[in-house]
């Protein structure tokens, strides 16, 4: 019997209720495909932080390292200052496990409406490969004067020098109160995520990879990104390539989503365009994401947040989370089970009887989970 150890972090807000539905579906499919899932619960999130002061510690991370995958709900809570949980838990895991790919499928499933007039499932079907460990997410930043006083001396030293070179002024005496944030892209960081994008295109029989940047303004960082992309592209002569500026792709994704097959983007831009992607595929309730380290521990989550307003109401759409669960199965090697879950999601949506409020229905979260379980069984 194939066995997988899955760490579960339900997190905050609607996290627990949507993860429960994901577990339900994965359990059901595991029975039919004859493998076993062992769920290991972790309490991390706002509640745990407020009680214990722990975000996610080294010990926990080391434990998680022994799992086959991490299934993650959502974090964010109005009682905790914005950014604390995001950085201390979610980003901490992405960095610790070096999950350098954030794979986000943008696929309009049949039976789901898109706000794009005249577009259907045949027009909206691409993957965004978001770089997940670099760029403006490296966490180098600080403030001078005001709240920034006395913080991060070493970084301040660096910025003092840069400020002096650029403006010929002293940052602490001449500058107004200011904040800075530095983005870093490395050759290795670019190469590995770009190769992943090309390999994905090959595997899925796609013909084109689009690279996103803003090399016309942020000429250093994204100029370098573009350079590396051109080099990597040479290793894949059968796949067409193109560059899109990030502002332009926001426009084209709305007007001509059918142009896109695989899109590779730096972290920050990838974050932004995948929210756009989520909307054109029917909303955040339908958008999954996989934080992947192909040689390590990967983490699967819906891309939406914790929606504290809906916490405990049992009305949120669990499909993004269930779809993320399907991606988890694919990643651990259970391809057939993964497809079965995706097919079950598709048939429930196509039938259209059981839907949560975001899709114009009034079904409960658990009813959607149940309907998908029934389909998993029916599709045997």
Q: Which residues contribute to the site for Mn ion (CB under 5 A)? A: 271
Site string for ligand IPM, 151-190 (x = CB under 6 A): ----------------------------------------
Judged by CB under 6 A, the residue of 90, 280, 326, 344 near ligand IPM is 90
- Contact partner, 91, from ligand IPM, Mn ion, none, Cβ < 5-8 Å per class: ligand IPM
Q: Which of 318, 326, 7, 330 lies closest to 200 in space, CA to CA?
A: 330
Helices in the chain by DSSP H: which ranges? Answer: 15-33, 46-52, 58-64, 84-85, 92-96, 153-167, 171-174, 187-203, 221-234, 246-255, 267-280, 319-332, 335-351, 365-378
Q: Which is nearer to ligand IPM, 60 or 132 (CB)?
A: 132
Q: Is 86 in the site for ligand IPM (CB under 6 A)?
A: yes
Q: Which is nearer to Mn ion, 267 or 363 (CB)?
A: 267
The two tokens of residue 136 are: 């403006």
Minimal distance, residue 291 CB to ligand IPM, in Å: 8
Q: Which is nearer to Mn ion, 135 or 271 (CB)?
A: 271
Separation CA 360–CA 32 (nearest Å) = 32
Minimal distance, residue 74 CB to ligand IPM, in Å: 8
Minimal distance, residue 288 CB to ligand IPM, in Å: 11
Q: Are 70 and 327 in contact (CB under 8 A)?
A: no
Separation CA 277–CA 283 (nearest Å) = 8
Minimal distance, residue 344 CB to Mn ion, in Å: 27
Q: Which is nearer to ligand IPM, 92 or 341 (CB)?
A: 92
Of 8-16, 86-94, 178-186, 324-332, which segment contacts ligand IPM by CB under 6 A?
Answer: 86-94
- Contact partner, 86, from ligand IPM, Mn ion, none, Cβ < 5-8 Å per class: ligand IPM
Minimal distance, residue 302 CB to ligand IPM, in Å: 9
- Contact partner, 21, from Mn ion, ligand IPM, none, Cβ < 5-8 Å per class: none
Torsion of CA 153, 156, 157, 158, to 10 degrees: 130
Q: Which is nearer to ligand IPM, 239 or 268 (CB)?
A: 268
Q: Is 55 in the site for ligand IPM (CB under 6 A)?
A: no
Of 84-92, 151-159, 204-212, 327-335, which segment contacts ligand IPM by CB under 6 A?
Answer: 84-92
Size, binding site for ligand IPM by CB under 6 A:
5
Burial class of residue 122 (count of CB atoms within 10 Å of its CB; 0-12, 13-18, 19+): exposed
The two tokens of residue 318 are: 């669990």
Q: Is 303 in the site for ligand IPM (CB under 6 A)?
A: yes
Q: In 3-state terms, what secondary structure has residue 360?
A: coil
| CB crowding 143-182: b at 16 or more within 10 Å, else e | bbeeebeeeeeeebeebbeebeeeeeeebeeeeeeeebeb
Q: Is 193 in the site for ligand IPM (CB under 6 A)?
A: no
Q: Is 271 in the site for ligand IPM (CB under 6 A)?
A: yes
CA dihedral over 227, 229, 230, 231, signed as positive or negative: positive
The residues of the shown chain that bind ligand IPM, judged by CB under 6 A, are 86, 90-91, 271, 303
């Amino acid at each position: 019997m194939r066995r997988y150890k899955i760490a579960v972090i339900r997190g905050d807000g609607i996290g627990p209720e949507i993860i429960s539905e994901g577990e339900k579906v994965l359990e059901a499919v595991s029975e039919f495909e004859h493998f076993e899932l062992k769920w290991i619960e972790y309490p991390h999130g706002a509640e745990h932080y407020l009680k214990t002061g722990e975000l996610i510690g080294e010990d926990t991370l080391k434990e998680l390292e022994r799992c086959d995958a991490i299934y993650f709900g959502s974090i964010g809570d109005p009682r905790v200052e914005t950014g604390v949980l995001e950085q201390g838990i979610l980003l901490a895991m992405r960095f610790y496990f070096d999950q350098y790919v954030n794979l986000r499928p943008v696929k309009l499933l049949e039976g789901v409406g898109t706000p794009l007039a005249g577009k259907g499932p045949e027009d909206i079907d691409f993957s965004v490969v978001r770089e997940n460990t670099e760029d403006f997410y490296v966490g180098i930043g600080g403030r001078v004067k005001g709240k920034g006083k006395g913080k991060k001396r070493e970084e301040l030293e660096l910025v003092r020098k840069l400020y002096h070179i650029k403006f010929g002024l002293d940052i602490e005496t001449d500058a107004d109160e200011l904040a800075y944030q530095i983005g870093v892209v490395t050759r290795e960081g670019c190469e590995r995520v770009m190769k992943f994008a090309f390999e994905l295109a090959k595997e899925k029989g796609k013909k084109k990879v689009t690279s996103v940047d803003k090399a016309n303004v942020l000429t250093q960082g994204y100029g370098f990104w573009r350079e590396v992309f051109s080099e990597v592209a040479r290793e894949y002569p059968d796949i067409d390539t193109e560059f899109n500026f990030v502002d332009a792709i926001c426009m084209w994704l709305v007007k001509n989503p059918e142009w896109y097959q695989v899109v590779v983007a730096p972290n920050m831009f990838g974050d932004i365009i995948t929210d756009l992607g989520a909307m054109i595929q029917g909303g955040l309730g339908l958008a999954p994401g996989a934080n992947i380290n192909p040689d390590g521990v990967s983490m699967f989550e819906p891309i939406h947040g914790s929606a504290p307003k809906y916490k405990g109401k049992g009305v949120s759409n669990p499909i993004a989370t269930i779809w993320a669960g399907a991606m988890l199965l694919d990643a651990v090697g259970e391809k057939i089970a993964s497809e079965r879950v995706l097919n079950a999601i598709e048939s429930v949506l196509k039938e259209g009887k059981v839907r949560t409020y975001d899709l114009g229905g009034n079904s409960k979260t658990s009813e959607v989970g149940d309907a998908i379980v029934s389909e998993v069984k029916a599709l045997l």
